[in-house]
């Protein structure tokens, strides 16, 4: 199979990959973790409104500028609902991640393993976790595309001695580092590799490194900070990350191996020698440096592995292809891995996450910009993400005591809001909401009790309720005039 065939499959996989990233961006708008909303989406929304982003000193504004610009464009074209803007941001992130495909093409063109390259581009498109990972508002997710492009282009440039391409490759890896500082461990590993084994390219290394440092200083300067202060504060703040929780050293390695569906894919490792070939061994070295560095840090999360997600798929693609003649591969191993993959793909593209925290204001903000949310100890009121969904014209009030009928009627009588939503995530308060549904009010009606959750949230919460409180459902009742409720599909 020639390069022309690989190029053809690249475009097919690219189209498929974009389609499934669109699905994930559209259907999965709930948070995976606090960071995606609190440190990216909310500051970006503030930036888009011309307000101070209020990022801490150790957070670079680069991603906020990027996401904030997407939100501005969304507003300009008439996308005003909070959910619509999240979907626009996630679609942009999915499109941004497509740069990984080009890196994949250059790498397999360099190592001259087109069969593995074809499998790799389809892995990049349809790996079960890839659309979800690609469309999260995490620094780790956003750095994946340029890092993958840079590493693939780097191997091709060194093999073909293309000096300008080496600059472009290092620049791409440098941009990934500016997005997520931990990627710097790979940037340093790349520099060491070049200076030890390809010393003739030292001028390109020097030029690009100075350029990246200049951009880093310029980002701080444009944000009215002292040049390099963000990086210095980042290193100082993360000097002791054990305050965020401590995980065992092997959890990082386990999170990385999950990319390849270990332990179900263990038979593929009989072909481990393919990873010792030129090109593969260099990429594997960079990956292992990254995983090792994270394993030495006390605090670990699976999303810390997102930057190396796509390049890790190159390794598994090579093992997959070179295992094709192995006994049991076609009849046992491949069917099992494909079945697991497409189950995960369906979940990652179509099932929302942590809906209890954002589902109620997300749904109602699409229906009206004037909603009063009365919080009876719900996840919405307990968390900080409501700031994004509850905007001017709407209001959130936390109510520790029972809301009386007279108080509800007084709020409705003020005519300030089109609808009133009473919310809780506590089962003992649920009868209070059910009672509202059964009562008659003058000029106002209350819907049946609704539940905001998802199939996956429910499973995870039931598996370990104590550690998964953010997966609880949120129940709510909507009160408004009869015509409004019926027009928005609420049962009375």
Of 310, 329, 350, which residue sits at a domain end?
Answer: 350
Answer whether residue 380 is part of any domain.
yes
Q: Are residues 396 and 337 in the same domain?
A: no
134/319 Cα distance (integer angstroms)? 23
d(CA 269, CA 492): 59
Q: What is the pLDDT of residue 276?
A: 95
**350, 371, 390 — which closes off a domain?**
350
For residues 386 and 273, state if they share a domain: no
pLDDT at 389: 93
Q: Alpha helix (H) ranges present in 161-275?
A: 163-179, 184-197, 202-222, 229-237, 250-258
Among all chains, which residue has been given the structure tokens 């475009």? Answer: 11
Query: What pLDDT, on a 0 to 100 scale, did the predictor assign at position 2?
Result: 57
pLDDT score, position 469: 87
Say if CB 126 and CB 15 are below 8 A apart.
no
Q: Are residues 296 and 375 both part of a single domain? A: no
Tokens of 295: 């394993």
- Residue 478's Cβ-side half-sphere holds a number of Cα atoms within 13 Å equal to 28
Predicted pLDDT of residue 1: 47
d(CA 127, CA 312): 11
In angstroms, the Cα distances linking 385 to 155, 205, 244, 450 are 42, 42, 19, 20
> Do residues 478 and 441 share a domain?
yes
Give the number of domains in the chain: 2
Backbone angles phi, psi at 231, to 5 degrees: -65, -45
| 192 and 220 part of one domain | yes
CA distances from 190 to 162, 178, 284, 286, 287 (A): 16, 16, 12, 7, 11
Q: Which of 350, 384, 404 is the last residue of a domain?
A: 350
**Strand, coil or helix: 115:** helix
Q: How far apart are CA 277 and CA 315, in angstroms?
A: 11
Q: pTM score, two decimals?
A: 0.94
Same-domain check for residues 323 and 362:
no
43 within some domain: yes
Per the CB < 8 A criterion, the answer to whether 472 and 380 are in contact is no
Quick one: 341 and 361 in the same domain? no
Identify whether 492 is part of a domain: no
Residue 11: domain span: 3-350
Whether 266 and 319 share a structural domain: yes
The structure tokens listed for 68 are 């904030």
- Compute the distance between CA of residue 315 and CA of residue 275 in angstroms, rounded to an integer: 7
Whether 189 maps to a domain, the answer reads yes
Q: How far apart are CA 306 and CA 134, in angstroms?
A: 9
pLDDT of res. 158: 97
Q: Which residues contact 140 (CB under 8 A, 6 or more apart)?
A: 180, 303, 304, 305, 306, 307
385 is written with which tokens? 């993400």
Exposed, middle or buried by CB within 10 Å (0-12, 13-18, 19+), for 347? middle
Q: Do residues 230 and 369 both lie within one domain? A: no
- Asked whether residue 316 falls in the same domain as residue 368, the answer is no
> Which DSSP string corresponds to 136-179?
S--HHHHHHHHHHHHHHHHHHHHHHT-HHHHHHHHHHHHHHHHH
Q: What is the model's pLDDT at position 245?
A: 80
Is the domain of 107 the same as that of 170? yes
Instruction: Identify the H or E element spanning 480.
Output: strand 474-480
Are β-strands 419-424 and 371-375 bridged in parallel, bridged antiparallel, or unpaired?
parallel
Tens of each residue's pLDDT in the chain, 492 residues: 457 789 999 999 999 999 999 999 999 999 988 788 988 999 999 999 999 998 999 999 999 999 999 999 999 999 999 999 999 999 999 999 999 999 999 999 999 999 999 999 999 999 999 999 999 999 999 999 999 999 999 999 999 999 999 999 999 999 999 999 999 999 999 999 999 999 999 999 999 999 999 999 999 999 999 999 999 999 998 887 877 788 899 999 999 999 999 999 999 999 999 999 999 999 999 999 999 999 999 988 899 999 999 999 999 999 999 999 999 999 999 999 999 999 999 999 999 999 999 999 999 999 999 999 999 999 998 878 888 999 989 999 999 889 988 889 999 988 999 999 999 999 999 999 999 988 878 889 999 999 999 999 999 998 888 888 889 999 999 999 999 999 999 988
Residues 346 and 442 reside in one and the same domain:
no
Burial status of residue 335 (CB atoms within 10 A of its CB: 0-12, 13-18, 19 or more): exposed
At 437 the pLDDT is: 85
CA 490 – CA 113 distance, rounded (Å): 57
- The residues with which 397 forms a beta bridge, in sequence order, are 374
Q: What pLDDT, on the 0 to 100 scale, is given for residue 427?
A: 93
In a domain, 123, yes or no: yes
């Amino acid at each position: 199979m020639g390069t022309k065939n690989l190029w053809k499959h690249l475009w097919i996989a690219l189209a498929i990959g974009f389609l499934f990233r669109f699905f994930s961006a559209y259907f999965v708008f709930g948070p995976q973790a606090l960071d995606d909303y609190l440190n990216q989406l909310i500051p970006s929304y503030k930036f888009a409104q011309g307000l101070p982003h209020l990022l801490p000193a150790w957070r670079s504004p680069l991603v906020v500028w990027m996401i904030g610009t997407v939100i501005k464009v969304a507003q300009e074209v008439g996308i005003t609902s909070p959910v619509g803007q999240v979907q626009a941001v996630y679609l942009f992130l999915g499109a941004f991640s497509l740069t990984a495909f080009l890196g994949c093409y250059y790498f397999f063109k360099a190592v001259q393993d087109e069969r593995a390259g074809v499998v790799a581009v389809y892995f990049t498109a349809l790996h079960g976790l890839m659309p979800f990972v690609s469309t999260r508002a995490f620094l780790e997710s956003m750095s994946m595309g340029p890092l993958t492009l840079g590493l693939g282009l780097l191997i091709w440039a060194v093999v073909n001695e293309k000096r300008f391409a080496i600059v472009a490759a290092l620049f791409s890896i440098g941009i990934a580092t500016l997005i997520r500082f931990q990627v710097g461990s790979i940037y340093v590993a790349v520099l060491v590799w070049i200076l030890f084994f390809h010393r003739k390219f030292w001028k390109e290394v020097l030029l690009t490194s100075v350029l990246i440092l200049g951009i880093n200083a310029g980002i701080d300067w444009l944000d009215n900070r002292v040049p390099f202060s963000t990086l210095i504060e980042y290193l100082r703040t993360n000097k002791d990350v054990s305050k965020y929780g401590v995980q065992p050293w092997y959890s990082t390695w386990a999170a990385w191996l999950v990319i390849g569906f270990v332990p179900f894919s263990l038979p593929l490792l009989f072909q481990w020698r393919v990873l010792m070939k030129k090109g593969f061994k260099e990429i594997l070295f960079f990956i292992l440096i990254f995983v090792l560095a994270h394993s030495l840090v006390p605090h670990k999360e699976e999303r810390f592995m997102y930057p190396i997600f796509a390049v890790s798929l190159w390794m598994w693609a090579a093992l997959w292809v070179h295992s094709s003649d192995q006994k049991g591969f076609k009849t046992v191993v491949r069917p099992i891995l494909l079945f697991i993959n497409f189950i995960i793909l369906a979940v990652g593209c179509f099932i929302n996450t942590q809906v209890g925290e954002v589902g109620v204001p997300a749904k109602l903000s699409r229906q009206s910009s004037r909603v009063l949310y009365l919080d009876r100890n719900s996840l919405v009121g307990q968390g900080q993400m409501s700031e994004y969904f509850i905007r001017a014209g709407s209001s959130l009030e936390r109510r520790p005591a029972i809301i009386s009928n007279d108080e509800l009627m007084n709020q409705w009588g003020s005519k300030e809001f089109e609808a009133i939503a009473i919310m809780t995530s506590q089962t003992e308060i649920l009868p209070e909401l059910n009672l509202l549904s059964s009562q008659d009010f003058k000029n106002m009606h209350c819907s049946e009790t609704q539940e905001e959750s998802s199939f996956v949230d429910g499973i995870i919460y039931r598996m370990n309720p104590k550690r998964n409180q953010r997966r609880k459902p949120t129940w709510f009742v909507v009160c408004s005039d009869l015509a409004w409720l019926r027009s928005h599909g609420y049962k009375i």
